[in-house]
Structure 1
Amino acid sequence: MKSIKALAFLLLLVVASIKVNAQQIKDGETVNVNGIAVTYTVVNKEKVNVKDQDFDRYKVLASIKNNSGKSFNIRLASSLDLTGIANSKIIELDCINATGARLTSKKVQVSMKSHLINVTYATKDKDGKTITAVLPVTAGYYFDQG
Structure 2
Amino acid sequence: MKKVLFFLLLAPLSSYAQQSIDLTTEHATNFNGIEYGFDITNERKMEIKNENYNRFELRVYVRNNSGCSKILFPRPTAFGEQNQNLLAAFLCVNATGKRLTSKDAQVYAGPFVIPYKQTVKNAEGKMTTTTTNIQVGHILKNGEISSENLTVIVPEGEAPRMKVVVQDLIEL
TM-score range, shorter chain: 0.5 to 0.7
Decide which structure has greater helix share: 2
Q: Which residue of 1 aligns with 2:71?
A: 73
Residue 52 of structure 1 is aligned with which of 41, 50, 53? Answer: 50
CA RMSD of aligned residues (A): 3.1
Looking at structure 1, the residues matched to 26 and 85 of structure 2 have their Cα atoms a distance apart, in angstroms, of: 25
- Paired amino acid for 2:87: I
Decide which structure has greater strand share: 1
Q: Which residue of 1 aligns with 2:35?
A: 37
Distance apart, 1:35 and its partner CA: 1.1
- Paired amino acid for 1:70: C
Percentage identity across paired residues of the two chains: 28
Q: Which of the two has higher C-alpha Rg?
A: 2
Detail structure 1 runs of 4+ shifted over 6 Å in the superposition. none
CA 1:75–1:99: 2 relative to 1, 3 Å: closer
Relative to the length of structure 2, the TM-score reads 0.51
Distance apart, 1:89 and its partner CA: 0.9
Relative to the length of structure 1, the TM-score reads 0.58
Looking at structure 2, the residues matched to 104 and 138 of structure 1 have their Cα atoms a distance apart, in angstroms, of: 37
Q: How many residues align?
A: 107
Which protein has greater RCO, CA pairs closer than 8 Å, 6+ apart? 2
Deviations 1:60-118 (A, max 9, x none): 01222212343233466xxxxx82x502111111111223524220112111013479x
Q: Which residue of 2 aligns with 1:88?
A: 85
- Paired amino acid for 2:24: K
Structure 1 unaligned residues grouped into runs of 5+: 1-16, 77-81, 118-136
Looking at structure 2, the residues matched to 88 and 18 of structure 1 have their Cα atoms a distance apart, in angstroms, of: 15
